[in-house]
Structures are given as structure tokens and as C-alpha cells.
């Protein structure tokens, strides 16, 4: 008897843009499990969102101004950053319509820089 055991393919990092928030799937959330807050950035030339997790010590230190840190809610199967102004800026800047349906994009974790990049040119 020759048995081939099922081996589930690893999930991709996916980020969803909704009206008012950014939702990270379970795979993306693994990089934010210990995050106290995050920093949000835009790389205009590459059409990317950059999300950097901040540990509690980093977030509470005054090295990073408070207006550059945003709250993240981390759950077992997803995490969410609620920031309506940031989402509106992204959708206007890159012409993304999320009025009727949220949009899902491919994301990549960069271990060296400790950032998650969301490629707005790779919609799922």
C-alpha cells in the first residue's frame, strides 16, 4: 500500500482593505502577535503599504512620536488596524475602489527590516 499523506500548502500573507480599516489574515498576523502598536507607511513608487509592528517597549518609549503609532487589535485568526484617514489616503492615491467590496492584496514579510509590505498591484 502506497499512501500519500495530505500536506496543506502554507497560506499566503493577505491584507484586506476595508472602509476604515486594514485586516491581516492569520498568516500575516503571526508577525504581529507581540505587537503593541504599528507604524503605517506608503511607498508611492512601488504602490505599497508598509506596516511595522512595534513591541510594547518601543511603542511606549518617546523615540517614536505618538502621531506615528497606531493601535492594532490582534486575535487568533486575524488582526486589524483601524485608521479611516490612512485607508482613505491609500484608496484615493492609488485609485482603489472599496466602496462596494473590500479588496485583498498579497503581502510579504521582510524579516531583516521587520516590516510587512502590501503590494497594491497584486490584488487577489
| Structure confidence by residue, pLDDT tens digits, 18-67 | 999 999 999 999 999 999 999 999 999 999 999 999 999 999 988 999 99
Give the whole-angstrom CA distance, residue 31 versus residue 29: 5
When divided into structural domains, the chain yields a total of 1
Other CB atoms within 10 Å distance of the CB of residue 81 = 21
Q: Give the model's confidence band at 5: pLDDT under 50 very low, under 70 low, under 90 confident, else very high.
A: confident
Kindly report the pTM of this predicted structure.
Answer: 0.89
Beta carbons of 26 and 104 less than 8 angstroms apart: no
Query: Does some domain include residue 17?
Result: no
* Parent domain of 102: 22-123
Query: Does some domain include residue 6?
Result: no
Amino acid at each position: 500500500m502506497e499512501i500519500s499523506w495530505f500536506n496543506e500548502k502554507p497560506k499566503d500573507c493577505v491584507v484586506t482593505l476595508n472602509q476604515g480599516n486594514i485586516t491581516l489574515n492569520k498568516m500575516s498576523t503571526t508577525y504581529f502577535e507581540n505587537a503593541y502598536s504599528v507604524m503605517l507607511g506608503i511607498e508611492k513608487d512601488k504602490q505599497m503599504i508598509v506596516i511595522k509592528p512595534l513591541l510594547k517597549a518601543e511603542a511606549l518609549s518617546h523615540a517614536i512620536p505618538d502621531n506615528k503609532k497606531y493601535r492594532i487589535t490582534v486575535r487568533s485568526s486575524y488582526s486589524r488596524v483601524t485608521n479611516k484617514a490612512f485607508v482613505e489616503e491609500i484608496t484615493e492615491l492609488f485609485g482603489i475602489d472599496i466602496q462596494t467590496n473590500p479588496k485583498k492584496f498579497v503581502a510579504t514579510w521582510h524579516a531583516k527590516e521587520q516590516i510587512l509590505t502590501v503590494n497594491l498591484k497584486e490584488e487577489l
